[in-house]
Amino acid sequence: MAGRARPVGTITRGTTNPNRLRRCDRWLAGPQAWRLRRSPGPPVVVDLGYGASPITAVELHDRLRRVRPDVQVVGVEIDPARVAAGRPLEREGLTFRLGGFEVPLEAGARPTVVRAFNVLRQYAEDEVADAWALVQQRLAPGGLLVDGTCDEIGRRASWVAVDASGPLSLTVSLRMGGLERPSDVAERLPKSLIHRNVPGERVHAFLGDLDRAWARSAPQSSWGARQRFLAMAREVRQEWPLLDGPSRWRLGELTVAWEAVAPA
């Protein structure tokens, strides 16, 4: 259509499943809930590149309205067919729009949170910075971009939190039952880090220290995987700047400052 900018990005595979992004949603509704609560008006949260099914946007709305009942969730997709599939599910506080990293919203609206999961992993590494920059320009004051990746059913996930100033942290979230080693998350690192899991890079050292602490914490398994994870995190905290504590570790989640794991 004349006068309408073309969406920025490319169509991804679009694979998704119900409850796949529950780990990130739990983090947004937990330690990041203050961003929603302090918004002077209804906070806008964007599910960017939600995929072939709109279910993740629906679930995000359900979870975040427990924190802020007036939250406005907008599912944004670059594929018109996927937008059309979401439209029948629209309701108060949940809409779907055609677009990409330019984050098209109503005039004057700026998102408090943009969640882009399993999107940039399908791009080249050198495209990440430009995509981040586009979203950063659109964020509301105090807003956050969450660039993450997870496996098909959400057992292993990781994400980078990015605000207007740049990346802040890396979060790793794992299903503890059946976990062999924390570095199993390596294949689900965000695009900005997945190719950096090699000797000499900080994220490689971080995952290695997690594995070693996990192995040394094996005796705690007598009291369950949660106690083992807690013991691992307490040990790792002695050497790495973890930004969370036991309440998050109990969920199989830990967050480390970005500068500690950023590409060398």
DSSP letter string, the chain: -TT-PPPSS--------TTTTHHHHHHHTTTTHHHHHT-SSPPEEEEET--SSTHHHHHHHHHHTTT-TT-EEEEEES-HHHHHHHGGG-BTTEEEEE--TT---STT---SEEEEESSGGGS-GGGHHHHHHHHHHHPPTT-EEEEEEE-TTSSEEEEEEEETTEEEEEEEEE--TT---GGGGGGGS-HHHHTT-STTSHHHHHHHHHHHHHHHTGGGGGG-HHHHHHHHHHHHTTTS-B---HHHHTTTEEEEEHHHHS--
Structure tokens at 161: 């939190």
User: Which of 94, 108, 96, 97 has its CA nearest to residue 65?
Assistant: 94
pLDDT of residue 122: 84
**Would you give the distance in Å from CA 109 to the centre of its chain?**
22
**Which pLDDT score is estimated for 11?**
64
**pLDDT (0 to 100) of residue 50:** 94
Tell which residue, 95, 92, 5, 6, has the closest CA to residue 50.
95
pLDDT of residue 4: 52
The reported pLDDT for the residue numbered 3 is: 39
CATH number belonging to domain 1-164:
3.40.50.150
Return per-residue pLDDT of the chain as tens, 264 residues: 333 567 766 666 656 778 999 999 999 999 999 999 999 999 999 999 999 899 999 999 999 999 999 999 999 999 999 999 999 999 999 999 999 999 999 888 999 999 999 999 889 999 999 999 999 999 999 999 999 999 999 999 999 999 999 999 999 999 998 899 999 999 999 999 999 999 999 999 999 999 999 999 999 999 999 999 999 999 999 999 999 999 999 999 999 999 999 998
Residue with tokens 């739990």: 26
Predicted pLDDT at 16:
77
d(CA 242, CA 31): 14
Query: What is the side-by-side strand order in the sheet with 144-150?
Result: 94-98, 72-77, 44-48, 113-117, 144-150, 156-163, 166-174, 253-257
Whole-number pLDDT of residue 5: 65
CA 41, CA 72: separation in Å to the nearest integer? 10
Per-residue pLDDT, 228: 97
Residues paired with 113 in a beta bridge: 45, 144
Query: Dihedrals φ, ψ of 186, to 5°?
Result: -55, -40
pTM of structure: 0.94
In the chain, what are the domain boundaries? 1-164, 194-264
